[in-house]
Structure 1
Amino acid sequence: MLTIGEVLTALAVFLFVTQFLKLQRLRRRLPPGPIPFPVFGTVIQLNFQFNRDLLMKLAKVHGNIFTLWFGWAPVIILNGYQAVKDGMTMHPEDVSGRLVSPFFRAMAKGKGIMLATGHTWKQQRRFALRTLRTLGLGKRGLEHRVQEEARYLVDFFASVKGKPLDPSFPLVHSVSNVICAVVFGHRFSRDDETFHEVIRAMERLFKFGGSFFHHLYEIFPWLMCRLPGPHKKVLSCYDVLSSFTRREISMHTERGTPDEPQDFIDFYLDHIEKSKDEPRSTYNEDNMVYSINDLFLGGSETTSTTLNWGLLYMVANPDIQEKVQMELDAVLGRSQLICYEDRRELPYTNAVVHEIQRFSNIISVGMPRVCVRNTILLGFPLKKGTIVFPNIASSLYDPEQWEAPRQFNPGHFLDKDGNFVSQQAFLPFSIGHRVCLGEHLARTELFIFFANLLRAFTFQLPEGATKINTEPMQGGTLQPHPYRICAIPR
């Protein structure tokens, strides 16, 4: 006679085999990929990792469109420039949904822009884009804000008088102040402790992304939301940012909306009033808070991290740094105000800025999309709700598109005569309906900040230091390891 233990074991094996066979039937209709198992999907074979290099390695085995499984959920991976471009642009509306995963749902509650989907996303994105354009996005008005912050940054570096410093905080402070001026109507001083706290909270948020505990939360949300750990601290960091934003909104509300709105909050408060009788309106204070958080996070971390990499690459490649400085001196001199339009007369500097973006490749994989309706993706039928991951990093490292993808080489953006050349596989801002709405601002900031710093200083390692670590640290964005450099006035 069988014991209770033997019966339970036999039942567990039967259920496992049944579910395993069911998974195999489901995967036949999808792109190829590793064999999934019940409960875990393919995460065991992936060693609980999910990063760009692993995905590029899997593409060599399974092809540039393949399937991974997170539990019972299939995730379609697009790898390489052609697959990413075709997958995101052939039926862009079909793959315009955003995966609101358990952790990001706990954080942003499906509100705002970046982590919203459907009607909310469309309304909030449309309003944000229209308002940013009104406030000067793509015009000289907003460029003036960038030039002003670049001047503050140069002054700060000059005040250090060539002594070793960690450039990460000055960079993120200056870049953040550009979006603050647009959204809040004012900048924050370097001594503002509240603003320091917000920047520290933002940095913790990005460092948590892609970590082991982040993956655990996405796989076992019902368990992790009940347990203490770093995920709880990170969610409280997002609350710090939200409280900061609500405080700014309260200050605007108390003073009243001016006749001529001056900043993003003014425009949003005015729009809440105008749309209050619209039955499907998503314009309310919560969506305003989360939209502003998205603008702050998206408009600060990625640009400052790219500049952080840029200074490190200049230290590692002093010959390239010198060529940039020679071009800047020859074309602009030492006093002329640097404009974004100057990039047309500075092809080498422009190429270096683009190569910094390409080579640093700071987005580990890319943001996931969701099919909003049944569709065909590169020949495979996908059901509504299917998750699609465009591996943007693989486009920036695609060996079929770049001469030396794993080397820092500004020549990737120059022709034989030294003229700047745009490259189709250069997709750091993504592609399709979810392309970054702050792309123009980010491009302007990168060029103006970088050109101002290189014209004013030569960057080098502190005396006695010889090692330069250019390997990234894993996180929501790929950061350089902390380093110190000397900004030597020219």
Structure 2
Amino acid sequence: MDSMSTAILLLLLALIYLFLTISSKGKGQLPPGPRPLPFLGNLLQLRSQDMLTSLTKLSKKYGSVYTVYLGPRRVVVLSGYQAVKEALVDQGEEFSGRGDYPVFLNFTKGNGIAFSNGDRWKVLRRFSVQILRNFGMGKRSIEERILEESNFLLAELRKTEGEPFDPTFVLSRSVSNIICSVIFGSRFDYEDERLLNIIHLINENFQIMSSPWGELYNIFPSLLDWLPGPHRCLFQNFGRMKDLIARSVRDHQATLDPESPRDFIDCFLTKIAQEKQDPLSHFHMDTLLMTTHNLIFGGTETVGTTLRHAFLVLLKYPKVQARVQEEIDRVVGRERLPALEDRPAMPYTDAVIHEVQRFADVIPMSLPHRVIRDTAFRGFLLPKGTDIITLLNTVHYDPSQFLTPQEFNPEHFLDASQSFKKSPAFMPFSAGRRLCLGESLARMELFLYFTAILQNFSLQPLGAPEDIDLTPISSGLGNLPRPFQLRLRAR
């Protein structure tokens, strides 16, 4: 490179840096943070292979509210229970926007229920919540569907006959069938090609998005669009999933009866037809495809991953497993499956499930939020459109809220009399306006699956319990448990 080219390059870098510096001022009084470099932002202070740890360390230096640059993109990071609660709960409306998440944005283009904003998001959320509630409270309640699916799952688990196996796939198939029955109108046989494809596509994408490649794409999407890597597979999988949903939608269109909707897709197609002449309608075919994808993805991966974390914890702590089983036997017995009405009489089991969710911290940084207007927050002024990262990990591991945050300890959710105790710092489904709309369904699934399995089986490790490693293998979008196998002994 000659001296003239070098000078031009340096001048361009200086202009970029000047632009970043100026843009960080004059648009509000932003929280302090590490000084960014041109284009790279704070990449030198962050590790894409462990973004969560990097951001958590920066919070110890800059406080519970600070500014960081993910490449050229500026975000404000919130750390600890108080800061996150003040934003998402106390100022929930101001922080109700959805921030950029390039891995998903590349696919959704801001459409669908999880990644839309403004009126579209409000309309889609209100509609989806109502439809899901209707199907959950209909002739076959959601609880009945879960109990039915639990029997299919137990039958599959019995087939292992005490031999070592990896529970990932069988759990995913069963959990996915619950949301699929609401979306598509019926459950799938466990060997159905459509269900197997859904599980494969979702599991693979969740792993990629939770890897360093997923984090790198979120920082430099324009650059990585030109480079090879696993992110290419990510977008191919998104496309295949969209095609799979589209085929089902076409089947629904051919047999649709607006007066007798069978499932979520029927209800959405009917709404599209009703508002066909409205130029301002938010109900279109692409919105249906994206919303359906969001619901299936959210309703499959997080519950299945949480149950795998729970298995691993019980393998490591057999005394916890034994106490849960004693409570199940005492309250429910062996003649029927546990039901939701049993939960109030099972405080220890409830505490264990909550502690698994806290300790596993499956979505440790949540999805990014965005302030929808200029917002005063803790002495700073966050300009409209500022993206917000809420470190839910620092909420779940906040020593001011949990006595031994680094340890798995069900006592975090039990009071002195061993009754179940809620914690305001329990936020596995986020909080505020963007609270996961599938929270109630996920809580039901976790309790009913967890108790049905432990009622019928004892979980046995292949090695010594003390050698089991509970630290996750990824800390990007999701905390994934380390791969493991176990044996099931019929009780």
* Coarse TM-score class (shorter-chain normalised): over 0.9
The Cα shift of 1:21 comes to: 5.5
Q: Which amino acid aligns with 2:482?
A: H
CA shift in 2, pair 1:21/1:265, >3 Å: closer
Report if the CA contact (8 A) 1:205-1:234 is conserved. Answer: yes
How does 1:8-407 map onto structure 2 within 5 Å? Answer: 8=8, 11=11, 15=15, 18-19=18-19, 22=22, 25=25, 29-48=29-48, 51-136=51-136, 141-257=141-257, 259-407=259-407
Aligned twin of 2:488 = 487
CA shift in 2, pair 1:313/1:137, >3 Å: farther
The Cα shift of 1:430 comes to: 0.5
The Cα shift of 1:424 comes to: 0.8
CA shift in 2, pair 1:281/1:12, >3 Å: closer
Q: Show CA shifts across 1:395-424 (max 9, x none).
A: 111111001011111111111111111111
Q: Which amino acid aligns with 1:233?
A: C
CA shift in 2, pair 1:158/1:388, >3 Å: same
Q: Show CA shifts across 1:70-95 (max 9, x none).
A: 24432111111111000112221221
Provide TM-score, normalisation by structure 2.
Answer: 0.94
CA distance in 2, matches of 1:148, 1:332: 17
Report if the CA contact (8 A) 1:316-1:468 is conserved. Answer: yes
The Cα shift of 1:438 comes to: 0.5
Aligned twin of 1:477 = 478
CA distance in 2, matches of 1:88, 1:167: 35
Q: Which amino acid aligns with 1:300?
A: T
SS at structure 1 position matched to 2:388? strand
Q: Show CA shifts across 1:361-409 (max 9, x none).
A: 1113111011111111222111111011111121111111001011111
The Cα shift of 1:287 comes to: 0.6
Paired residues, number? 489
SS at structure 2 position matched to 1:93? coil
The Cα shift of 1:462 comes to: 2.8
The Cα shift of 1:12 comes to: 5.4
CA distance in 2, matches of 1:30, 1:402: 30
Cα-Cα RMSD: 2.3
The Cα shift of 1:51 comes to: 3.0
Could you tell me which runs of 5 or more consecutive residues in structure 2 were left unpaired when the two chains were aligned. none
SS at structure 2 position matched to 1:299? helix
The Cα shift of 1:214 comes to: 2.6
CA distance in 1, matches of 2:70, 2:423: 34
Report if the CA contact (8 A) 1:114-1:294 is conserved. Answer: yes
CA distance in 2, matches of 1:198, 1:140: 24
Report if the CA contact (8 A) 2:28-2:383 is conserved. Answer: no
Tell me whether 139-148 or 419-428 shows the greater mean CA deviation: 139-148
CA shift in 2, pair 1:450/1:166, >3 Å: same
The Cα shift of 1:339 comes to: 1.3
Tell me whether 474-483 or 349-358 shows the greater mean CA deviation: 474-483
CA distance in 1, matches of 2:417, 2:275: 55
Report if the CA contact (8 A) 2:13-2:38 is conserved. Answer: no
CA distance in 2, matches of 1:220, 1:51: 14
CA distance in 2, matches of 1:3, 1:161: 73
CA distance in 1, matches of 2:433, 2:135: 22
SS at structure 2 position matched to 1:95? coil
CA shift in 2, pair 1:488/1:20, >3 Å: same
CA distance in 2, matches of 1:215, 1:285: 30
SS at structure 1 position matched to 2:94? helix
The Cα shift of 1:469 comes to: 2.3
SS at structure 2 position matched to 1:488? strand
The Cα shift of 1:193 comes to: 2.6
CA distance in 2, matches of 1:36, 1:412: 39
The Cα shift of 1:212 comes to: 2.9
The Cα shift of 1:19 comes to: 4.9
Report if the CA contact (8 A) 1:138-1:441 is conserved. Answer: no
CA distance in 2, matches of 1:156, 1:437: 29
CA shift in 2, pair 1:278/1:356, >3 Å: same
CA shift in 2, pair 1:238/1:9, >3 Å: closer
CA distance in 2, matches of 1:156, 1:277: 49
CA shift in 2, pair 1:466/1:192, >3 Å: farther
CA distance in 2, matches of 1:14, 1:476: 33
Q: Which amino acid aligns with 1:481?
A: R
How does 1:420-439 map onto structure 2 within 5 Å? Answer: 420-439=420-439
Report if the CA contact (8 A) 1:100-1:116 is conserved. Answer: no
CA shift in 2, pair 1:3/1:314, >3 Å: closer
Report if the CA contact (8 A) 1:365-1:393 is conserved. Answer: yes
CA distance in 1, matches of 2:436, 2:5: 56
Percentage identity across aligned positions?
38
CA distance in 2, matches of 1:267, 1:125: 14
Provide TM-score, normalisation by structure 1.
Answer: 0.94
The Cα shift of 1:254 comes to: 1.2
CA distance in 1, matches of 2:473, 2:25: 39
Q: Which amino acid aligns with 1:401?
A: Q
